[in-house]
Amino acid sequence: MTLKQTLFLLLTFLMFSHFSYSQERETIELKTGWKFSKGHNELAYQKIFDDSGWQNVNIPHDWAIEGPFIISGDGNTGKLPWKGEGWYRKKINIPDNYNGKRLYLLFDGIMAFPNIYINGQLAGRWDYGYNSFYLDITDIVNFNDENILAIHVDTRKHDSRWYPGAGIYRKIQMIAVNPIHVDIWGTYITTPILKPHYADVRVATTINNYSQTDDEIKVKHIILTADKNKVVEKEITGKIASNMNKIFKATITIPNPRRWDLENPHLYILVTKIYRENELLDTYNSTFGIRDIRFTANNGFYLNDKRVQLKGVNLHHDHGPLGAAFNERAMERQLQIIKSMGCNAIRTSHNTAAPELLDLCDKMGLLVFNEVFDKYDAKADIVDSTNFENFTHRNIRNFVVRDRNHPSIFLWSVGNEISDVQWNVDNGFNRLQIMLNYVEKYDNTRPTTLVCDSYKSAELRHFDYYDVHSWNYGRRYSLARQLEPNKPVIISESASTLSTRGFYEFPLPGQKTDFTNSLQVSSYDLNAPEWAELADDDFMWQQEEPYVAGEFVWTGFDYIGEPTPYNNRWVKKHGMTDNEASRSSYFGVVD
């Protein structure tokens, strides 16, 4: 081959590559090249600003885990400096071929109250530090010049009962798409009919049209096995108006479907392609599983018509010494360990989880009790100026729409131990109804719950609003079960047995709440807080009451903060100082 022929082939390849590249959506993770500075700065949002002296960081990033520890600080949040404000800045180069596309920034989670600026202009803001959100930045970026992304993070209004972390602790992605494209989290996949020899898969696809004309488009769905073998495909067509979005619905029959279950978590891939005439405009991939779930009031939970006793654990979001910055391998390791000890489910206590956690549970065959909030207050970044209806709609929509295609999720929880809701203080039931209405709006294929702890509040019948009795500790579900026996029961937090791995001490405790000044708890598993119980009690209750669908042990892994019993109050009561208060929990099945 001559040099001239080689150059011609290379040029042809590059031209073809550029053409293909312009047709497909492009997703770039904004991981490197960030500058960070902790503290107040009134000018850091500006495009022209000297950040050369700032710290170089990668995202995800938790500024507080670096310390230093505040020795006399609050052990409940790990004695770490997470309260404060900080700035992140990054240069973004927009490729030439992005001109004419729509550009989105997708944020998996920022703790907390972020304000996002592009070239000195406010692009958008968010509140709840644990939830995902996105912004359309098309109209404020420069396609022919350098762009500066600046993000202000402020945790001073956030409240927490454990270590929350601080900063951009989950990933950020930039997504470039053609004007006609599948929306962010734009497919909703359900299986309304599931038989032994076939399954009807219903796909609702939200498509945006930001072009200047009304268009006739073709939507082509291709379903693949996990190893990319084609199962079936279907095409539908329809018109979409300019500057509007539209939901395109299709029902696709899969012959002899392989079900997702705990032993064989089979997954399918839905490839959605959008065409205008013969021009490919967008390709969007969704992962889903085919399974049947149901609860019964008297015999618990069923997966694919097989009763499954839920053997779950609660998991907080931090990774111990890695802090709150999400690390997929660290999360995978935790799930591998708990699965190896017989666990088959997790509860995302008490907040929206990183999306990768749900991906891992799908792949590994773990059920998910998916919880969005702890309390309806500053722990959810609800402050005095918050419009509750607006806040709920935004956050429940993102929570449910992001997660609803995951086969691992079997239950939506709208909150944990919210006393004013349980007792209907300040229209608590109305707030509960608002939450549940929005869950139902965006997914009606799974049951809902509120996790409760106030035993006598069951007399007010808050359980009439949701589907499953979920109660923490001490057989507190018994009154709700007596008043409404036609709903299933889950022990959503069990045990809270305390121990320090490898530490043994005599004499043995006479009572579960007998703790010593050693600041350690014996590993004989004979200790628990006053409000909890030993693990053996929960095992016994489930044996005696087979209607209980299962339990979620508090907790699968120890976490930063909530150092019961050796918190600041305990040590001072026993003649010590704040300096001696512990910084991490004693609850974990695994340290």
Over residues 29-88, the pLDDT tens digits come to 999 999 999 999 999 999 999 999 999 999 999 999 999 999 999 999 999 999 999 999
Question: What is the average per-residue pLDDT within 184-188?
Answer: 98
Q: Which two tokens stand for residue 305?
A: 């018509």
Q: Which residues contact 141 (CB under 8 A, 6 or more apart)?
A: 92, 94, 103, 118, 119, 147
pLDDT value at 326 more than 50: yes
Residue type, 74: D
> Tell me, what's the pLDDT at 9?
42
Check: CB of residue 155 under 8 Å from CB of residue 9.
no
> Tell me, what's the pLDDT at 19?
33
Over residues 566-589, the pLDDT tens digits come to 999 999 999 999 999 999 999 999
Cβ neighbour number for residue 386 with a 10 Å cutoff: 17
Q: Which of 216, 332, 493, 544 is catalytic?
A: 493
Over residues 212-223, the pLDDT tens digits come to 999 999 999 999
Q: Is 467 exposed, middle or buried (0-12, 13-18, 19+ CB in 10 A)?
A: middle
E-strand spans in 464-558?
A: 468-472, 489-495, 548-554
Kindly list the distances between the CA atom of residue 438 and the CA atoms of 65, 394, 448, 478, in Å, as whole numbers in the listed order: 35, 9, 11, 29
Question: What is the average per-residue pLDDT within 370-398?
Answer: 98
Kindly list the distances between the CA atom of residue 585 and the CA atoms of 189, 338, 501, in Å, as whole numbers in the listed order: 39, 17, 12
pLDDT value at 135 more than 80: yes
- CA-based torsion, 72, 77, 81, 85: positive or negative: negative
- CA-based torsion, 72, 73, 78, 83: positive or negative: negative
pLDDT value at 480 more than 90: yes
Tell me the average pLDDT of the chain: 95
| DSSP three-state, residue 401 | helix
CATH C-level class of 22-177:
mainly beta
Check: CB of residue 369 under 8 Å from CB of residue 492.
yes
Interatomic CA distance for residues 406 and 410, integer angstroms? 9
| Consecutive H or E run containing 400 | helix 388-403
Cβ neighbour number for residue 210 with a 10 Å cutoff: 17
CATH number corresponding to 180-288: 2.60.40.10
Over residues 484-517, the pLDDT tens digits come to 999 999 999 999 999 999 999 999 999 999 999 9
Q: Write the secondary structure of 224-263 as one string of H (helix), E (strand) and C (coil).
A: EECCCCEEEEEEEEEEECCCEEEEEEEEEEEECCCCECCC
293-500+533-562 domain in CATH 3.20.20.80? Answer: yes
Question: What is the average per-residue pLDDT within 274-298?
Answer: 97
Q: Which two tokens stand for residue 291?
A: 């399974």
Q: Which two tokens stand for residue 555?
A: 């907790």
Place of tokens 């549940």: 436
Kindly list the distances between the CA atom of residue 121 and the CA atoms of 46, 108, 313, 392, in Å, as whole numbers in the listed order: 8, 22, 44, 27
pLDDT above 90 covers a percentage of the chain that reads: 94
Kindly list the distances between the CA atom of residue 61 and the CA atoms of 86, 175, 257, 326, in Å, as whole numbers in the listed order: 12, 21, 41, 8
Interatomic CA distance for residues 526 and 510, integer angstroms? 9
> Tell me, what's the pLDDT at 23?
56
Check: CB of residue 366 under 8 Å from CB of residue 344.
yes
pLDDT value at 565 more than 80: yes
Q: Which residues contact 523 (CB under 8 A, 6 or more apart)?
A: 499, 500, 501, 502, 503, 504
Q: Is 551 a catalytic residue?
A: no
Show me where the domains of the chain are located: 22-177, 180-288, 293-500+533-562
Q: Please provide residue 387's backbone torsions phi and psi, each rounded to the nearest 5 degrees.
A: -85, 110
| Res. 7 pLDDT band, cuts 50 70 90 | very low
Interatomic CA distance for residues 563 and 43, integer angstroms? 39
Interatomic CA distance for residues 575 and 38, integer angstroms? 36
Q: Is 96 exposed, middle or buried (0-12, 13-18, 19+ CB in 10 A)?
A: exposed
Q: Among residues 204, 217, 338, 206, which one has the least CA distance to residue 274? A: 217
| DSSP three-state, residue 392 | helix
| DSSP three-state, residue 540 | helix
Q: Which of 371, 417, 533, 580 is catalytic?
A: 417
Over residues 385-419, the pLDDT tens digits come to 999 999 999 999 999 999 999 999 999 999 999 99
> Tell me, what's the pLDDT at 376?
98
Q: Provide the pairing of β-strand 268-276 with 279-288.
A: antiparallel
**Angle at which helices 388-403 and 428-442 cross, to 10°:** 30
Q: Is 493 a catalytic residue?
A: yes
> Tell me, what's the pLDDT at 144?
83
